[in-house]
A and B are shown apart, each in its own frame.
Chain A
Amino acid sequence: MSTSARTAFPTNWWHRAAWLAVAAYVAYAASRLDFTWARFTTGLGQGARFLDRMFPPDFARWELMLKGLVESLEMAILASAVGVALSLPIGLFAARNLMPAWATWPARLVIALSRSFHPVIVAILFVKAVGFGALAGILALVVASVGFVGKLFAEAIEEISLKQVEAVRATGAPFASVVAYGVLPQVFGRFVGFATYQLDSNLRNSTMVGIVGAGGIGGTLFAAFQRFDYDFVCAILVSIIAMIMAGELAANWVRRVFVQRGRVDEE
């Protein structure tokens, strides 16, 4: 009788090698990026001073802050409205199960281009094109919305059941009716999910594009940082987070209105 006991979980040498490789990479990358322990500990001391200067938050300039926040909110609302409205047709054109190749390729190219740059970089280009201010920010967020909602909407359409579409087609319905009665009812719930998610995301980004001069609270925040006005920075951050959380609650509420309980199929 053999005495060698079987181990339930034998050593996986590939896993160990992978962990070793990760550790080696971390060491290499950290040295390349010049991370040192001394720097880290100095930073912690700085961090304590920084936090000390942030508290208590200074809400004395609340009018300036409110103006920036309201502008950010308006930018997010307008950009979401325009962006979602634009991504409806673009997403429809990009769906490969409904459209011929000559329509899907350009639509997919538009979506891919809109997605490839961070909204802040797009905002830089729009600041050059239409000048400083909210308009540049709105346009940048519209581009971001088209990229995100357009892509997901196209994917949602590609996953629908074609039986209903065929049924509507079989009655001799024109293309617009096929879309309205065969396609839209199947994707509406998910589309509401994408749109509310995008409103949320636009709200987050609308507070940031101001860093490059595209309107909203970001400009005020960046200026306060550069003047080392850390208690004002803290006040701005607190109000941004409050606004974003309120936005998230509103988005959840909208989703609950449109998507029936028990079949929430959002991303």
Chain B
Amino acid sequence: MSAGEAAAAARTWRRFTPAQRLARFAVYLAMVAAVVASIRHVEVIPEFLYDAPEQVRDLLARMWPVDVAHYPAGVHDALVDTLHIATLGTLLALAMAAPVGVLAARNVVPVTAVNLAARFVLVSSRSVNSLVWALLFVAVFGPGPLAGTLAIAFRSIGFVGKLLGEALEEADPGTIEALRAVGAPWFAVLAKGYWPQVQPAFWSVALFRWDINVRESAVLGLVGAGGIGMALDTALNLFQWNRVATVLAAIFIVVLAAEVAVTAIRKRVL
């Protein structure tokens, strides 16, 4: 065995470089420090926790029996409204997000200033929670489903637009080049070159967002933006827990049905 081979055999093999190991260690340390600091600082009253099993028992006792008779009068319309809010909001978001997503894609619109402006719109839409959007729109348009629909739409622009922009940037340049070579104008390249390629991704994102929006529109009523959340809020404020249970059961079934529907559509169509 030569000296070089012996040195190689004696060498300790490690998967990561020292810099990588240091970075990982720093992340672990920061995580532990953050958790410890949070535990020590956060105000949690342990006495409330001892009481919890009893409170939960009380809650369940008040919720049972579920007030099914309340459903036709007080829940059904609100539930249908919620579905309309989610669907209309999603459609509105698709209409608004499509142009912004196109402007954000660097290969479709090769102007950096436009790309950055579009990205800024998308990021601001995403960093405001749909409940905050709802609060803002309630202040502007008054309580009701209009505020809820706009809140859903404005929150979804960022999501749909970002994913559409990414899909456009990943599009295969072959067909695009072919269209450009025959002198197709910009819009024709977009409609006949990019659109067929991103269409499946676009509809899949739209479905996914609709599913999320059904969940989110159910809570918007808590801040007055229409839908089943209003029914929930009323029942909660009056401590009518058996009606709360009705509303929760209705939300649960609708959310489940939406998820099943989305899965089925995705399997069959996309």
Contact = CB atoms under 8 A, between A and B. Distances in A.
B91 interface: yes
A209 to B, nearest CB: 10
Contacts of A120: 131, 219, 222
Interface in A38-93: 39-40, 43-44, 46-47, 50, 70-71, 73-75, 77-78, 81
A205 B129 contact: yes
Contact of A134 (B42, B49, B127, B142): B42
A241 interface: yes
A32 to B, nearest CB: 6
Nearest to A128: B59
A160 to B, nearest CB: 19
Contact of A230 (B34, B139, B236): B139
B85 interface: yes
Interface stretch (A22-30, A102-110, A162-170, A173-181): A22-30
Contacts of A101: none
Contacts of A74: 37-38, 41-42
B270 interface: no
A43 B129 contact: no
B267 to A, nearest CB: 16
B74 interface: no
A117 B252 contact: yes
Nearest to B123: A245
Given A29-B87, A47-B141, A129-B52, 16 more contacts: A29-B84, A33-B84, A43-B141, A43-B142, A116-B215, A121-B251, A129-B59, A130-B55, A135-B44, A135-B49, A221-B135, A225-B135, A225-B139, A230-B139, A241-B128, A257-B24
A131 interface: yes
Interface in A139-195: none
Interface stretch (B3-11, B103-111, B143-151, B168-176): B143-151
Interface of B: 20, 23-24, 26-27, 31, 34-35, 37-39, 41-45, 48-49, 51-52, 55-56, 59, 81, 84-85, 87-88, 91, 123-124, 127-129, 131-132, 135-136, 139-142, 144-146, 149, 192, 215-216, 218-219, 222-223, 226, 232, 236, 248, 251-252, 255-256
**A contact face: mostly helix, strand, loop, or mixed:** helix
23 contacts: A33-B84, A33-B144, A33-B226, A34-B146, A46-B142, A47-B140, A47-B141, A71-B43, A73-B38, A74-B37, A78-B35, A78-B38, A81-B31, A117-B248, A121-B251, A129-B59, A130-B49, A135-B48, A208-B129, A222-B223, A240-B132, A245-B127, A257-B27
A20 interface: no
Contacts of B31: 81
Given A40-B141, A133-B45, A211 B223 contact: yes
Contacts of A204: 129
Given A81-B35, A128-B55, A135-B45, A33 B145 contact: yes
Contacts of B135: 221-222, 225
Contact of A212 (B20, B149, B215, B222): B222
Contacts of A46: 139-142
Given A208-B131, A258-B27, A129 B44 contact: no
